[in-house]
Homo-oligomer: A and B are copies of this chain.
Amino acid sequence: MHIVQPGMEIDVLKENNKIANENWRLLKSHGIKSVDFMGSIGAGKTALIIKMAEKLRAKGIRVCAIAGDVTGTDDFGRFERSGMEAVNCNTGKECHLDARLIKKSLADVDLDGFDVLFIENVGNLVCPADFPLGTDYRAVVVSTTEGDDMVRKHHDIFLHSDIAILNKTDIAYAVDVNPETIAEDYSRLTGGLKKMYMCSVKKDEGIDEILAALGF
């Protein structure tokens, strides 16, 4: 449900940002590093988070994941089965997480029980952009299967993200997509200042570079 009223929209965003700041301070007071993963359905956010958490666990870093979805427990179940601490966060109807939902989720976990929080936002390349959650980083994940025009169609979420990740490079050939086209669009959008990180979660390619970009 999405309703725009001039004025009111500003109040809602202000309120969200205020709670996002509270979330950030709470996480920092427990020494937790956090990343919000945004992106469309099927971009591979769940698989990427699980793979990154595995690699961090091997270094003794404990990860907790919040699974954001409209309904269901599919991604939450995947996180749990991978051995991670996880929280399910259903929006019910909304197409994005917001800072208040994260505040509630954080009340349900032991903040001294993990070092890193990965939040998987609702599968949507439009709506989450406007709602920071209070994480250190915001990452946008896209997949080659989404076509080569995602950056051209969705400036906002790429401009709101600290890091952009292109997943499923291994099947780019099968969907007739050239990953370089997407990377060039992103470089152009960011004035040549930022590069897109390429990866194949399935083949475990490119994940270490992403972890390094996030300061791990």
Contacts and interface: CB of A to CB of B under 8 A. Distances in A.
Q: What bracket does the count of chain A residues touching chain B fall in?
A: 35 or more
Contact of A127 (B95, B168, B171): B95
Number of copies of this chain in the oligomer? Answer: 2
A58 interface: no
A173 B94 CA distance: 32
A70 B126 contact: yes
A203 interface: no
Interface in A31-66: 40-42
23 contacts: A1-B130, A2-B2, A2-B3, A2-B130, A3-B3, A3-B5, A3-B12, A4-B94, A5-B8, A40-B40, A41-B146, A41-B147, A41-B153, A41-B154, A42-B150, A71-B152, A71-B154, A72-B149, A74-B149, A74-B153, A95-B95, A123-B125, A145-B175
